[in-house]
Amino acid sequence: VIQFRFLGGATILSIATAVGNSWVRHVVSDLLTTEELQGIFRSAATIGDLAAETEYVVRGHFVQSFNLQMRILLGVAVAAVFSSLLMWQKPQVKVP
């Protein structure tokens, strides 16, 4: 049963990262060269090497991508509430 927790973590984490990263890549691709783009996704520290203005914009886009990922998580959390409600029974389950 504990393994299900990590299975869920791995599944949803991969979905969220895929969505967030591809969104950032799409938005940022006009601003940066291909090499800079690859560098950003290889290491977040390379964002600091960009020109000051571009860096500011790129970091803003990353905030928005984080919000997008949190929205996905929100959907999962709401689904978890419904999944818990399905466990409702008249004498509630008790800790043995």
Q: Residue numbers of the site for other proteins (CB under 8 A)?
A: 1-13, 16-17, 20, 44-45, 47-48, 59-64, 66-67, 69-71, 73-74, 76-81, 83-89, 92-96
Smallest gap from Cβ 3 to other proteins, in A, equals: 6
Smallest gap from Cβ 68 to other proteins, in A, equals: 8
- Which of residues 34 and 73 has its CB atom nearest to other proteins in the complex? 73
- Which of residues 35 and 90 has its CB atom nearest to other proteins in the complex? 90
Q: Identify the H or E element spanning 87.
A: none
Residues 6+ away with beta carbon under 8 Å from 94: none
- Which of residues 2 and 34 has its CB atom nearest to other proteins in the complex? 2
- Which of residues 4 and 35 has its CB atom nearest to other proteins in the complex? 4
| DSSP string over 13-48 | HHHHHHHHHHHHHHHHTTTS-HHHHHHHHH-GGGGG
Residue that is written with structure tokens 């979905």 in the block: 15
